[in-house]
Structure 1
């Protein structure tokens, strides 16, 4: 029987798609969604995979849980190769994704779990104890007779997790489980995920919420353009920008590329990004601690209507933004982005 010190191991994973563009003169294009991803997740770890939309997170997860075959490279879960031994992998994993799909709305939560328990091959005698246990773990015991169509988004996500745990998986993939959930339900989901990891289940989590990743994850990998750009504990990633200050400047006017380039060229400016808002945009500038540097940034915005300027210490979100901005700058300027062979 295969054994491994790692619950999840990916080595040089690649996934390409072939598509067509144009109508009169169609051309075939090959899109590399994942370009040589490698990482290891020890047993019992809560591992975060972070990245912007289209970075390759979900494609990577789908290769790890056997829903997609890698174009090249290899991956294993609990020592079982995802391409050569997919049945053994599926028996040992659970997959929970964000959103409304994957549940039968006209059925009760109890009937949903009974149905999925049958699909997972859970013995009927075990179901009698297992289903109430799952309902209690996710906090839905007492609401199991209600139709799912009347459930809130947070309750649906809890039911998704209960479904993913029915067959006692050793590895759980959580793909943005708290997306669109209200703050109270999101806090309950975070506590639930932490409890699952504490019970010994290996968890791979994707999320867009940096505070969630900072609170939950033992280690984090940041993926962008299909490549792992950084990896480490939340503290290690934050250390990348620890020696910098973050200037947050609300601007009411749009910043053209010439203005952004002028800001990038200022001595002491390391990274900058713009977060679009309904009323005003927020310019975030990572600078070396210096009154002169901050004054130069403000002077470079002469003629731009500003609303608020705040300087603070960096967070995990700032580290993440700096990593992604560095990658985007490399793509924009044409510099080579390091892709594993």
Structure 2
């Protein structure tokens, strides 16, 4: 990883295959003082470079307002960029929008992406024709998708009678109706029951394994860690970092935390803490916690050394490194790049 924080960088020349975003910017007009106030612009996306290759799930992360949804809508041809380029297998999303739409699809949680006064089956038939799916293939495809999202029994029910979860499941089926080469997922599991969310993650992983390129935004960071091989982190529309989840955690100092409670601390256990580079926290009743943050699994060696030094262990807790911590540290500027990442820049 290389770049702005010592952990990231942008890719150089790339082949046409894949989605390639270069110097992307998007400005929105705003009025500063109410309806009749002076007009200005707000920049939601500011110079982004992204690469979404086929056969990989790529994450796009950031705090609320970072520009993730705006970016995805530009990639989906729903918004035009103010400047910069987006190419899908060499096709420009503005000049070749119709051809691009045949190759992509979007699933967005929390947004109504189906028609409520049509049945589930009618929705899939309608959207399938928009994507020019041959009718004979579409009939079979609809049955497959309804089964996939667990809506076979509700296929001929009006969507206005669906629950929120059922509507979102239908939106997932709609997003897969054209067998997209690239799938854009904006909070796709928002509001889904746990079993359906798990099934969607399985389907997305299988699609990527079969060659589909996927871009995922999600506030469920365990979902990102499970699925994404590569992650971009943005803030206020700008690029902050990129790398695998493990690389981002390591590069920002987001290591696993080992906390050992010692009931009878003394000079010898203090010496152990100093040798391991751990901190000591006094506890009520005369005990203390020896706390060590480290990228490796050091709980066993630390506990063994404390016992060897005559310490009595009252508790041992291990907290794995958090991708959320890494994102927050990148966003607020407190990230400390790992030495190897800094040298890579």
TM-score range for the pair, normalised by the shorter chain length: 0.7 to 0.9
Q: Deviations over 1:185-237 (max 9, x none)?
A: 32222222222222221111111111010011111111111011111111111
Q: How does 1:15-164 map to 2 (within 5 A)?
A: 15-23=26-34, 26-164=37-175
Q: Distance in 2 between matches of 1:23 and 1:173?
A: 35
Q: Deviations over 1:256-312 (max 9, x none)?
A: xxxxxxxxxxxxxxxxxxxxxxxxxxxxxxxx96325x67xxxxxxxxxxxxxx883
User: How many pairs are equivalent?
Assistant: 272
Match of 2:321, SS? coil
Contact 1:9 1:75 in 2 (8 A): yes
Show the counterpart of 2:270.
Answer: none
Show the counterpart of 1:266.
Answer: none
Match of 1:196 among 187, 201, 207: 207
Q: Deviations over 1:101-160 (max 9, x none)?
A: 122223321111112222222222222222112223333334322332343333322211
Q: Distance in 1 between matches of 2:256 and 2:175?
A: 42
CA drift of 1:5 comes to 4.9
Show the counterpart of 2:322.
Answer: 315
Contact 2:54 2:208 in 1 (8 A): no
Match of 1:187 among 178, 189, 198: 198
Q: Which moved more, 1:27-36 or 1:141-150?
A: 141-150
Contact 1:224 1:327 in 2 (8 A): no
Contact 2:249 2:255 in 1 (8 A): no
Show the counterpart of 1:290.
Answer: 278
The structure with the larger Rg is 2
CA drift of 1:66 comes to 1.4
Q: Distance in 2 between matches of 1:317 and 1:134?
A: 33
Q: Distance in 1 between matches of 2:200 and 2:136?
A: 29
Q: Which moved more, 1:181-190 or 1:110-119?
A: 181-190
Contact 2:86 2:93 in 1 (8 A): yes
Match of 2:142, SS? helix
Match of 1:179, SS? coil
Match of 1:173, SS? strand
CA drift of 1:76 comes to 0.5
Show the counterpart of 1:229.
Answer: 240
Unaligned runs of 5+ in 1: 249-287, 296-309, 329-341
CA drift of 1:322 comes to 1.4
Q: Distance in 2 between matches of 1:75 and 1:221?
A: 16
Show the counterpart of 2:8.
Answer: none
Show the counterpart of 2:223.
Answer: 212
Q: Distance in 1 between matches of 2:176 and 2:233?
A: 27
Distance 1:124 1:23, change over 3 A: closer
Contact 1:138 1:192 in 2 (8 A): no
Task: Give the structure-2-normalised TM-score.
Answer: 0.71
Unaligned runs of 5+ in 2: 1-13, 260-275, 283-316, 336-345
Q: Distance in 2 between matches of 1:216 and 1:322?
A: 22
1:166 aligns with 2:177: yes
Task: Give the structure-1-normalised TM-score.
Answer: 0.72
